[in-house]
Amino acid sequence: MKLEKKRILITGAAGFIGAALARELLKLDLYVTGIDNLNSYYDINLKKSRLDHIKDFSKNNLGSWSFYKIDIANEKSLKKVFIDFRPNIVVHLAAQAGVRYSLINPKAYISSNLVGFCNVLELCKDFNIINFLYASSSSVYGGNKNLPYHENQEVNHPISFYAATKRSNELIAHSYSHLYGLPSTGLRFFTVYGPWGRPDMAPMIFAKSIIDNEPIKIFNHGNMKRDFTYIEDIVKALVKCCSKVASPNKDFDPFLPESSSSFAPHRVFNIGNSQSINLMSFIDLLENAIGKKAKKIFEDIQPGDVQETFANNSSLEKWIGFKPRYSIEEGISEFAKWYIDYYKKF
């Protein structure tokens, strides 16, 4: 499917991935509308700066940009956006993020990740959306230690409430695909990082602490590994998925069912860098990029955390030809440059 002339709605457009995707789509001369509730889970000024960056970016590109400040849990306000904009494609990235915060405020995850998700799906059904993409998470693999993770492995043992809501999203989206023929693609993101990143995630936390001479907490005494995925690789894959509509698997075997495809037009894919990087190696690279050593405090693993993530990307590669381009060294270098410039450090 060609994206030319398509109208694309991005939920969570002031977020890290949403803002990056908006800029990428504007390069393609597309009609893009974003919505976000600009909640205070992390720095609202950073979210507003991302929106300002999109607005400035849109002035120098052919695509059009508009933004609505609404909460996806508010069905009436959300419906108005669909009426006004009439999207063809919806990329649903809005969610209450954070594994650890889900231990403190689980109700926020019910409102956004379940009620809000269902509101979006209902409107996608009612407005005959031709392609629905939504954010899942590597956290759905939970207690599974069979690495690298493949989409057809079991994901029925989440170890955080956040992960449980993301797995719920996959199941709910599948039911809508089956009942209403809504083509849906779920993407399990693996530790996304880069410029304009989230302040609640390790790269931003570590960068701030290193520069400000504050100690960083290293959990599980450094025995942690993550499949760090650079933001530019993520958005390139998202754009390709926008142009490829999920279809039923003609070879689906109901006696040996797999979870990554279906008799319904629903697909689920990992999207990672296909490398599991030791946390201490990541910190070393960040120290080198910033030019300062970190003060380190080693602590036990936190509830809800997994020790290691590692994505098998073979299904996504087969689907859209996705191969991550950025090495961890390149990605950290670009991130550190942005961080120092944005926060006017040094």
Phi, psi for residue 212 in degrees, rounded to 5: -90, 10
Is residue 60 scored above 80 in pLDDT? Answer: no
Mind spelling out the 3-state secondary structure of 226-247?
ECCEEHHHHHHHHHHHHCCCCC
DSSP secondary structure of 188-230: EE--EESTT--TTSHHHHHHHHHHTT-EEEEEGGG--EE--EE
Across the range 132-136, mean pLDDT stands at: 98
**Residue 193, pLDDT above cutoff 70:** yes
* Closest residue by Cα to residue 228 from 138, 133, 93, 338: 138
Residue type, position 186, single letter: G
Q: Check if 162 is active-site.
A: yes
Q: Indicate the Cα dihedral angle 80, 83, 87, 89, nearest 10°.
A: 60
Place of tokens 């760090």: 228
Cα(323)–Cα(331) distance, integer angstroms: 15
DSSP 147: S
Q: Average pLDDT of 66-88?
A: 97
Which of the four pLDDT bands, split at 50, 70 and 90, describes residue 57? confident
The per-residue pLDDT for range 331-343, each reduced to its tens digit, is 999 999 999 999 9
Question: Does pLDDT of 101 surpass 90?
Answer: no
List the domain boundaries for the chain: 7-190+230-274+311-326
The pLDDT score that the predictor gives to residue 87 is 98
**pLDDT value of position 1:** 87
Model confidence pLDDT, tens digit, residues 194-231: 999 999 999 999 999 999 999 999 999 989 999 999 99
Q: In the prediction, which pLDDT does 303 show?
A: 84
Q: How confident is the model at residue 346 (pLDDT cuts 50, 70, 90)?
A: low
Whether 304 has a pLDDT exceeding 90, the answer reads: no
| Predicted pLDDT at 143 | 86
Average pLDDT over the chain, rounded to an integer: 95
Report which of 40, 162, 159 is spatially closest to residue 102, judged by C-alpha positions: 162
Residue 184, pLDDT above cutoff 70: yes
Which CATH code of 3.90.550.10, 3.30.70.3190, 3.40.50.720, 3.30.530.20 fits the domain covering 7-190+230-274+311-326? Answer: 3.40.50.720
Which residues is 271 bridged to in the sheet?
Answer: 189
Contact 88, 129 (CB under 8 A): yes
Q: Which of 68, 109, 134, 162 is catalytic?
A: 162
Quote the pTM value: 0.96
pLDDT of residue 175: 98
Predicted confidence (pLDDT) per residue in 285-302, tens digit: 999 999 999 999 999 988
